[in-house]
Structure formats: C-alpha cells, structure tokens
Structure 1
Amino acid sequence: MKYSALFIVLSAVLSPVLAQVPVYGQCGGVTYTGSTTCASGSTCIKYSDYYHQCVPGTATTTAAPVTTTTRVTTTVVPVTTTSQGGSSPTASGVVTRSGTTFMLNGKKFYFVGSNSYWLPMLENTADVDKALDDFKASGMDVLRIWGFADLTSGSGTQTAFQVWSGSTPTINTGANGLQRLDYIVAAARARNIRLVIPLVNNWQDYGGMDRYVQSMLGSGGLHDDFYTNANIKAAYKNYVKAVVTRYSSSEPAIFAWQLTNELRCKGTLAASSSCNAATLTNWVNEMSTYIKSLDPTHMVSVGDEGFFNRAGNSEWEYGGGEGVDNEAYLRLPNVDYGTFHLYVSAWSKTYAWGDQWIKDHAAVATSVGKPMVFEEYGVTRSTGQRLTVIRTWHDIVLANAIAGDMYWQFGAVLPITGRTHDDTNTIFTDDAEYNELVVQYVPRMEAKNA
C-alpha cells in the first residue's frame, strides 16, 4: 500500500548491559555489548553472527562463539508458550505449494495473516515481542513485513537496511540494519509465525525503486529504469543476495521472498512511454529466477496488486494500464503463488466491484493451478461499512480458491511505541471488530484444511 513514511521514535532507551537477558532478548552477536546470561529457564541460541537470542530451554546460558558464516543456522527452537500465554508449538518445515493450496509438513495450509510493514522499523525488541505475541494470540500464522529500508543516511537508531551515498549503496549489517531483521526472523520462529518479506518498494516510502533510480541515474531517471537499467538491476540483485543468503534455505520462519511491494510502470517518478506489461514481466522472470538460484527451497511471489492485462478491457485494473499482468506472473516457472490487493475507495470502485475482483483472482488460480493470496485489503474506519463489507469478502474467500487472506493492516498497542501506525484501514487488537474479523475468522479459514 502507498502511505506516508513513518519512522518510530523511542520514548525510552534500554541500558546496553543487563544482569540477565529476558526470554526472547538478544544475548550475543557481532557488535553486541550486553549481557550473555539468559534468564533462568532459557538458553542463548546463535541464529547468525549478528544475532543470538534467549529462548526457552535448559542448555548452557552463555552465548555461542561467533564464527565466520553469515547464514542463519537451521536449528529449530523448542518453544512451549509465548509471553501472552498462547500455545506456540515447535516450528518445523518450510511451506510449499501443491496445486492451488499451500502445504506444510504434508498437510494443507490455508491461513489468515496480516501486514505489519512497520515491524522492522521498531527500535526496541520489547515492542517487537509484544507485537508478535499479540499477532500469535489471535491465531494468525503469516505476517508480511518490509524487508527494505533504502535511506541516504544510516546514522542514529533509525532502521536503514541499505544506505546510499551518491550512486553507491552500502548494505547495513549493523544494529540498526539487518540485525533488526535477524531479530524478527528468530522471534517469529520461536512463535511459529511465518514471514513474507518484500525486498523493494514501488513507492518512495523507505526509499523504494526511485531511490535506486535517483541515486544511480540522477534527476533524469524514470521509474521504469529500475526494471531495465543493467547497473540498477545489479544493485538490486546485490541487496537481494545479501538478505536471502543471510538465512538458511530451510529456515521455517520464511514463508516467501517477495520481489516488490506493488510494482508498477510508474511510482512517484513518471514512467517512460515504452514501459508496458512485457517490461515488468521480463523483470519478474529474471528476478524470480535469480532468487531461486540463491534459495531454491523457499517460495517466491511478486507482491503485485493483481492488475490484469486483458486486451480490450477499458478498466485500468483489467486493461494493462499500469504495466502489471497478474496472470502472466503466475505462469512463470519461478513464481510460486499470486497476490492481489483491494482498496475500493482509493480505486474509486464499489464494494460489489470488489466482490467480483476476489472471484476473478480465484478463477485465475484455478486456471493456472497455483495458489492465490488476498494479500492486502482494507475498508476505512470512517465509512462505517467495515464490518459488513469484510464479512462479505470473507465469505467469498472461503467459497473460492483463495489460499491465504492477509488484511491491511494489523495494529497493536506496544509498551514503548504505543499505538502502531493507523492509516484508517488498521484493525487494532482493541477494536470492536477485531474479534469477529480476525479471531473468529481464523478457524473458519483453517476449516478448509480438513
């Protein structure tokens, strides 16, 4: 979704040295200077050079020595409970696909999930833990977070995964860089949550494709240069490689690597007159193939809004006007599942139009024989229609070939940050609709696993 960038400011700073590290706290890693002694009943486990975490268990309570590998180990952490008291079984297995369904450990895996783009931008691990505990307590299984933060400065505590100085990007593996993603991956694994991680934004929020274009081509660059310029594609691949190879190909916390958030011919920058569906489809084919060469195990998706490229259709969502071709992406050999988004207010559509939009994507999934995920959607709070409309959409999802449902967006009340970003689509855990639209919806979707 396109929105104004939000950078969260801490209201308190934890001491770098603690006598004992609490459960799910960091206990070691490159540049870490705090305590390596875990609280009673927990064990310090190494997940990467940069991040060791205290998890429930009874082994040694000191951090493992750092080695030279940069790939997170595949150790599965036995977990019995979260700090919210909910069940959290041992994480195992990587989610795969079979026909129009996902599979986990040999069983169907229909799921309800959500989006929390802001999670890697949190500067305090207590807030991350609370957000994930609340998410898991709802029964949800899959969470989509941003795997990008392309900035021009990496100083301070603000999250910056890649820092641009002129035309040169530097990948930040420090405490305010990819170590924050390391923490989330480990914390998600401990709670048996799986993550969808997009690797670049179409929009300028947190840098995005236009950061690559403006840094490498200057003011004359156009948005779709991101898809065609050899040097820009090489820079994107360099970042992708750094993130994807940072984790084991058997890491259960990774649901899928995602090429983008909402690719289009244009972003904040304009598109060239030559950008079309072939431009973006060729790029998707190249980059999905590249990720599979690095990690053949985890799934790959595009993260597109689901627009169609159907000749003769005058509606921009169906007629290829944005250069997006949802059906063509799904037919590519290294794209594992399709995605689509839905914002009827922003697109000047009716709710009934949205009903058909869901059905049309289910039909594509059936035709191609791959899963389809309703990845982003929202009804603004001010309409007063949220409960009625989303009820209808849920009924359509349950009756059709939609393999996963991820509303935009999950909202939580955190101990330090307070209420997370509210774009009026956010459904907070203390909202009146949360129980019906989230908690009660989970078992309805999971009934499709029978």
Structure 2
Amino acid sequence: MKLTKLFSVLACAVLSSATVPTKTVKRVSPQFVQTQGSKFTVNGSEFPFIGTNVYWLAALNTEQDIIDTFSNISRLGINVVRTWAFNDVETIPENGTWFQLISNGTTTINNGTNGLQKLDLIIQHAERFGIYVLLSLTNNWSPLATDNLTDSIANLQSSVQSRATPVEVFNTSRARNFLSNDYGGMDVYVRQFGLKNHDEFYTNETLVQTYMNYTTQIVTRYVNSPSVFAWEIANDPRCNSSVAASPGCTANNITQWHSRIATHISSIDPNHLIASGSQGFLCLGCPKLFPLNPPAPPPGPSAPATPDRRTIAKPLTRARIIQERNERWKKTRALLPKSEQEQGARVRIRGRWVSTPTKRQDGVQGVGSAFDGSQGVDSEDILNIPQIGFGSFQLFPDQNSYGVDDPSLPAFNNTLQSGLDWITTHGQVANIYNKPVTLTGFGLVTQDNAPFFVPFNTTIAPFASQSTTNTTQNFGVTDSQQATAYSSWLNAGITSGISGLIQYQWSQGNLTGEPGTAISSNSDVTGQSSNSDTTSESPNDGYSIQGVGQSTIQGILQNAVQSVGNA
C-alpha cells in the first residue's frame, strides 16, 4: 500500500523536529494503523500484511544501505518491517550505533548521528517506500559471554532440542549488534542498577520508571508519524532470561507490568497501537487480572440485563487443547497401514513411507510448557488489557516447544504440525477476544545455517566448529523443509485469521562494512571487516535467508503478499 504525499510531508515535519517532544494529535487520521474487531485497517480499508524482521537496520553504516534495504523489501510487496528501537550499552563504544547508555544506575540518551538520528532515517525512508515500521522498545534477552562452558553446553543441548547431535562450542567474539540479543535490554538495566533477578525489571519501581523514561523519549519522538505501525513493549518478555528469575515470578507479574507500560505509552501517544511482543505463551486456567467476562454487577434497579450465556466468549481451556490434539492424532493414525495403526511406526510423506522408531503412546494429557504458565506469560490476560491494541506471538521451534509431539510422526513433521497448531490456536484467540493477533517472528534454522545459529539466550554458536573441515553436525532442516514449513505456516496464518505474519529474518548484501561494527565481511570469526571499502552481508544469527534458499524464501513471501492482497 503506497502512502500519500501528505504522509510524506507529515513524516518529514516530524523528523525535522524529532529531538524535542512534539504536540500530540488525536488518532483522527485514517493513515494511522487502526483496528476494527480482529482486523487492522488503514484509510478505512482492511490491512492484512506480510512482513519481515530487520533487527539490524539501525546498525547499518550508511544512509544508502538503509535505502537499499527498504528498496529490496518493497520490491516483494512487503509493507511492514519489525526492528529494534533500542540499543543499550554499558560503556560508549568506539564505533557503531548506540541509543542509550546504562551505567552505574544512570542513563543517557544519544541523540547524535550514531544514535537516535539513525532511527530517524529509518522512519523517514520507510515512509518513502510505503513501509510501516513495528518498533520494539526493549529485549528480554541480553546474555554475556560465559566462562562456564560445561553448563552452557548442557543448557544449549536442552534449549535447541539437539538430542544426540554433538555440540562443539564456538565462542569467538562478534562485533556488537551482530546478534539480535546484543542490543541491550532488560538484563542490562538489572545489572547496571545492582539488582539480582531478571523479573525485578518488571517490579522494581526504579527500573520501571527508568524504562518508562526511555519509552517516553522514543514514543514522543514519533508520536505523529503514520509510518510507525505500532509500539511493541518488548521482544519476548517472560520471567526468565540470562539473569535468573526469582522464585516468585508469575504470569500476573508480567501482565501487571504490561498494563502499566501500555497505560503510560497510550497516555503520551493516542495515535499508535500497542502490543506486547511476547512469544504468545498461554496460562490455561490461571487467575486473570483482566478477565474476558467480568463478573456481573449485583442485581438492582439500574443493573443491566444479564447477557445470554451463549454470547459470552469462552477462553481456551486445557480440555479443549487436549481434545483437539487427540482428534488430530487420530486422523494421523488413520493414514497409517492397518498393520501399523496400533504401533505408529510409519507415516506417509509425499507418497513415501518414512520410518520412526517411536511407538504411539496413549493417554498423554499434558498441555506442554507453551500452555501451562511456566514461562510466566499469559497472553490472553495481556491481550485483554484495554490499552493493548493487538496480540502477538512468535514461532521458533528450534528453541521453544509449542505442544506435545505426535509419536506417529517423524521430527520434521512434528515441527511442521506444532507450528500449524500454534498458529491455529492464536487465530482462535483473535476470534475469542475480537482483537487482531500478529505472528511477529517465525523461523527455522537450516543445516547450512546451523554453524551460525546462536540461541536467543546465549552468545555461543553450539553447532559451529573452528575447523572449516568439520562436517559432523547435522542440526537443522533442509532448504526444502524450511520452504515447506514457511509456505504452510503462512497459508495457515492467512486462513486462520492471523492479521499479520512477519518472517525472521531479512538478509541484505552489498552493504558498507566498517571496522568494529555489525556489518562486516563474510567471515563469522570476528564480525568485523578489515577496511571501510569492503562490501558485506547483513548479520546472521542462524535465521537469515541469505544463501542457497534466499530466492525461494523471497518467492514464498511474495506469494503470501499476493494472497493477502487478494483475500
């Protein structure tokens, strides 16, 4: 969707005075993204979208690189880009971009050309190409390199579900901003203010006020810019992180924090929508701070009539999730030869029978960690906060579990199916709460990308080797499997009522490399280039689409753009 000339004039006017708070206007312009029930609208028309994550946009070394990146994204028809609107440092770096210094209990905002003026350029050129920008205001993940490699290996083997795959630790340093988790975030606040637990970021009054001050600086800077799609309170907020959580952290703590931050943002910016940015984890049966159906008022002469119980929306339940899963497993087993339906030994894939040693296990009744509140997130409760405009969820099966595996299916088919189920579940959430829900990031690591893969909560690439001749690792999916999953997930999102789907992550070549910055030569050893003339590729934490499958994935995204445009 192309934005009008008025949009351009307005955006440029905002940027010319961006260093001081501007006068807030009410959301009266239809050019701002709005909602109508479970749909987004722009200029009075429904606005479903396909987007991409470009977390490293502000780390680019030249304005022309920003322009070229947006130009290539726009060619596919993609009209929403998600990027980081935070870049916290504990000491001021010699080179590269930084937005906020957090040190010894104090904070300083960088309004210079290597600071928030970089974000100004992003907003300006996004408008030029008719692209909306979803801005995330902080990160849950901010790990430090660790010397305790034994524990790190054990944690990585569990977190990436590597099972029997050998892990070879690869921990050579990369330039700052090379990894998506190296832009600061919650744990920088916790460490620099002398606190111990990750979840104190949500409850400590000093940290809450400090973070709200940062959001004020960013939000007021772009309050009148229609090119901002929405504010995302944080990327993947939850109880745990690289700094340990306290035993008392619950989903209610995270929900209450969301309510407070969302209320603050909406008080200074009535123009833009607000979302959580979480993984979309659920807490079935947990007590709600914002119940879907508040208790009816006591009877009285002025009390409204009791609504028909059939019209009251029903939240997701443990019983519903288990029933839907069992029905799906039953259908899967029905595809097996009769001789194997009771063993679940094989399943037909693309006309061939594929073996799996796992036998069917009856009576598996757990809902899994994505549904039981163990992550400290209750997405339904967060979505029902009045100031939250739409829901968000993510899909990274390499790092998180989104259900219980069907023992009749081999590993990749379970990965594919768990993604489909997770998307369908959040389509149901959108319908129940009558608000849009967006998949803000989805990705799978391919075998070619496995050496570059760094989980969000570590600085280590577990499947890389310092020997270029190593060929023992077998983590990741094939390019064909990745393409199958992405195409299937996009189609499922479109048909399930998901209002926006954002792939993770975009890849860009022919960038200007500078020493000490995230934009480097092709080597993954240091993340730095040897001179300023080197043309480089964008950072890769394992999910980049650069390489063999790039044109295929771009084609899939382009087809999805056309699908939502014709919906």
Q: TM-score, normalised by structure 1?
A: 0.78
Output the CA distance in 2 between the equivalents of 1:355 and 1:70.
43
Aligned equivalent of 2:232, options 251, 258, 267: 258
What's the offset of the Cα at 1:156? 3.0
Query: Match for 2:435: what amino acid?
Result: K
Is 1:389 aligned to 2:488, yes or no? Answer: no
What's the offset of the Cα at 1:272? 0.5
Aligned equivalent of 1:289, options 254, 263, 273: 263
Residue 324 of structure 1 corresponds to which residue in structure 2?
A: 377
Is 1:440 aligned to 2:559, yes or no? Answer: yes
Is 1:217 aligned to 2:194, yes or no? Answer: yes
What's the offset of the Cα at 1:45? 5.5
Give the RMSD, CA atoms, in angstroms: 2.3
Deviations 1:403-442 (A, max 9, x none): 0010101111133142112233222498231343112221
Name the count of aligned residue pairs.
Answer: 371
Unaligned runs of 5+ in 1: 1-43, 52-67, 75-90
What's the offset of the Cα at 1:343? 1.3
What's the offset of the Cα at 1:70? 4.3
For residues 108-147 of structure 1, the aligned pairs below 5 Å read: 108-147=46-85
C-alpha spacing 1:344/1:415, structure 2 compared with 1 (3 Å): closer
Is 1:431 aligned to 2:369, yes or no? Answer: no
Residue 195 of structure 1 corresponds to which residue in structure 2?
A: 133
Output the CA distance in 2 between the equivalents of 1:296 and 1:47.
16
Deviations 1:64-87 (A, max 9, x none): xxxx8444999xxxxxxxxxxxxx
SS in 1 for 2:283: coil
Asked if structure 2 preserves the Cα contact closer than 8 Å seen for 1:48 and 1:71, the reply is no
What's the offset of the Cα at 1:137? 1.0
Residue 313 of structure 2 corresponds to which residue in structure 1?
A: none
SS in 1 for 2:218: helix
Query: Match for 1:340: what amino acid?
Result: F
What's the offset of the Cα at 1:367? 0.3
SS in 1 for 2:101: strand
Asked if structure 2 preserves the Cα contact closer than 8 Å seen for 1:131 and 1:414, the reply is no
Output the CA distance in 2 between the equivalents of 1:318 and 1:46.
46
Deviations 1:353-400 (A, max 9, x none): 111111000000000000011111112222111111122112211211
Is 1:306 aligned to 2:273, yes or no? Answer: no
Residue 206 of structure 1 corresponds to which residue in structure 2?
A: 183
Q: Which moved more, 1:156-165 or 1:256-265?
A: 156-165
Deviations 1:24-78 (A, max 9, x none): xxxxxxxxxxxxxxxxxxxx96543577xxxxxxxxxxxxxxxx8444999xxxx
Residue 99 of structure 2 corresponds to which residue in structure 1?
A: 161
Query: Match for 2:191: what amino acid?
Result: Q
Deviations 1:155-212 (A, max 9, x none): 4332111102311011111111111101111111111110111111100031210111
Asked if structure 2 preserves the Cα contact closer than 8 Å seen for 1:310 and 1:318, the reply is yes
Query: Match for 2:81: what amino acid?
Result: L
Aligned equivalent of 2:421, options 356, 359, 369: 356
Question: Which structure: larger Rg?
Answer: 2
C-alpha spacing 1:93/1:46, structure 2 compared with 1 (3 Å): closer
Query: Match for 2:424: what amino acid?
Result: K
Residue 248 of structure 2 corresponds to which residue in structure 1?
A: 274
Output the CA distance in 2 between the equivalents of 1:340 and 1:321.
16
Output the CA distance in 1 between the equivalents of 2:223 and 2:255.
28
Output the CA distance in 1 between the equivalents of 2:12 and 2:397.
46
For residues 170-189 of structure 1, the aligned pairs below 5 Å read: 170-189=108-127
Deviations 1:90-132 (A, max 9, x none): x981111111110000000000001000001112111111111
Is 1:48 aligned to 2:15, yes or no? Answer: yes
Is 1:421 aligned to 2:539, yes or no? Answer: yes
Q: Which moved more, 1:156-165 or 1:200-209?
A: 156-165
For residues 81-100 of structure 1, the aligned pairs below 5 Å read: 93-100=31-38
Output the CA distance in 1 between the equivalents of 2:551 and 2:16.
43
Asked if structure 2 preserves the Cα contact closer than 8 Å seen for 1:110 and 1:445, the reply is yes
SS in 2 for 1:445: helix
C-alpha spacing 1:401/1:225, structure 2 compared with 1 (3 Å): same
Aligned equivalent of 1:365, options 424, 430, 435: 430
Asked if structure 2 preserves the Cα contact closer than 8 Å seen for 1:73 and 1:247, the reply is no
Q: If each structure's strand is expressed as a fraction of its own residues, which one has the higher value?
A: 1
Output the CA distance in 1 between the equivalents of 2:219 and 2:207.
18
Deviations 1:267-317 (A, max 9, x none): 100000110010000000110010000101100000000100014654111
C-alpha spacing 1:156/1:256, structure 2 compared with 1 (3 Å): same
Residue 233 of structure 1 corresponds to which residue in structure 2?
A: 208
Is 1:401 aligned to 2:466, yes or no? Answer: no
Asked if structure 2 preserves the Cα contact closer than 8 Å seen for 1:123 and 1:157, the reply is no
Q: TM-score, normalised by structure 2?
A: 0.63
C-alpha spacing 1:45/1:442, structure 2 compared with 1 (3 Å): closer
Report which structure shows greater RCO (CA 8 Å, sep ≥6). 2
C-alpha spacing 1:329/1:292, structure 2 compared with 1 (3 Å): same
Output the CA distance in 2 between the equivalents of 1:317 and 1:139.
33
SS in 2 for 1:274: coil
Asked if structure 2 preserves the Cα contact closer than 8 Å seen for 1:147 and 1:198, the reply is yes
Query: Match for 2:104: what amino acid?
Result: G
Output the CA distance in 2 between the equivalents of 1:120 and 1:175.
11
Residue 368 of structure 2 corresponds to which residue in structure 1?
A: 315
Query: Match for 2:199: what amino acid?
Result: D
